[in-house]
Structure 1
Amino acid sequence: MALQEEIKEYLNESESHLDKIGDDIEDFFSELETEENAFSEEMESEAFSTYEWAPRTEVSSAQRDARDKYEQWYNAVEPVVYDYLPRRYEEFDEMHEKTLNYLNLESGFTESAPETPMERAVDIVNLIDGQKSIVMAAPNRVAAKQFNARKDISADVEADELLRARELYEDGLVREGGVIAGVALERHLMTVCETSDREVDYDPSHSIGRLAQSLYEADVILNSPMKRLKYLGGIRGDCAHPEHEPNSEDVERLLNGAEEFIRNGFEG
């Protein structure tokens, strides 16, 4: 199973910790009452809320259940956000702190209590939904990082193959140089097929000519580079089959063409 799918499955399983937490939050805040803050009219600053929570004589089981479920879920998914979404971690952590403050009725002087308790219940549900949205972005982030890593690795390998192909050609090993240059070009075309924004119908076993045709049919490349790639693919085929003796000038064209396409793209 790919890492992206593993993380997605893990996050879906972790969400079971939040089972019926909305009901717990609603039950808890439906038990509460607010009262007017006796000092609010004396304070000129808007930092003091008009309302505060009315005193309670016992701990609410619904409050405890909601808090326990939320903390179990948070502790399960927090490492995922830290590892794969570092730019969103501070925001995620601030939402966690705010959610706990609301659940513990510890909003402080700046936001003591709303006029009606259920307003705070809605605030908490919205905060949790916001955190869930951040968390569920992690699998796509993992896929993007793996995708970029594959492209970087492919580019490095292609560069090494082109260098090796050129060295073999200059040492008189024309056929071998042509084969490796062809492999580099095939690898590059495969990467273009994989990374294109358009849907490309291709198979990993396809040759240069077939890959070029697929890219053309998907409107990724124009007719001119498609024809030139097929021409280069023919030279690569001659190099790969012992019954055909590759022409030195043709192989040099393959080397130059592969370098040009890999480094500069398919314009023209």
Structure 2
Amino acid sequence: MPSNLDRYKKDFERLLRDSVLIQQSFAHLCYGKEYEAALLKSCKDDKKAAKEHMDALPDFKSAYQSWYSESLVLINQLLPDRLSDFIRLYEKPKGRKEISFENYRIEDALQGLRVTRYGSEVVADRSSAMSHLDQQVAILKSIKGRFESSLFDIRQLVQADLLDSELDAARELLKHKFMRAAGAIAGVVLEKHLHEVCVAHNIKLTKKNPTISDLNDALKNSAVIETPQWRFHQHLGDIRNLCDHNKKVEPTPEQVSDLVEGVAKVTKTVF
């Protein structure tokens, strides 16, 4: 089974390949016929080659949104100090009163926003965001250095591999109808992961042996997670308690399955 580090590398390489086509697609969206003429010239007037290139370009709007969402997750895990920069290049500035070339963002470009002055002078349009996309790609590329650097902290990745193995064990127990044992293991995984997230965010814990509820509250109070995620963790904790402590009511297969798969989701999305 490939490690989490291997999976991150595979995702990184795929996103990097996709970024080339997305940049080309954006250039075509911005410049249209000018782009096509330049492409034909670069293909030495080979119309067939130019057409094959054009046919390979994805629809920018849908391809970018998918690429952006996946890149966010990868950057948050491997290069968190650049996450805010990556987001800033996409999102409209909060409190923006008027649109200029300087504060035009990729989000504006996706909406096709075009600002003119005196009826004809273009202040900002889609092309104003091309440099922002270039910067986002540059941030993504810089992740490569984290993989290759001896300073790269793989503690969380190793921890993730161990948690994946434990969840696989829980699934196997669930498959053979050992409900409480499966739920207990999944609960331990959730507790370990939330504790690791607290450590990653330098959150001080007052209890020596904090529970899932304690860890969940600490993450919410430190604004690491929002209320919907907090409620989801509480729900998973309730099922874990049913498996561990409540001997009068048996957990159902559906409840334990929800717990195991819910914990798997948390370990992949909450960092």
Shorter-chain TM-score: what band? Answer: 0.3 to 0.5
Normalising by the residue count of structure 1, what TM-score does the alignment of the two structures yield?
0.42
Normalising by the residue count of structure 2, what TM-score does the alignment of the two structures yield?
0.41
Q: Which has the larger radius of gyration?
A: 1
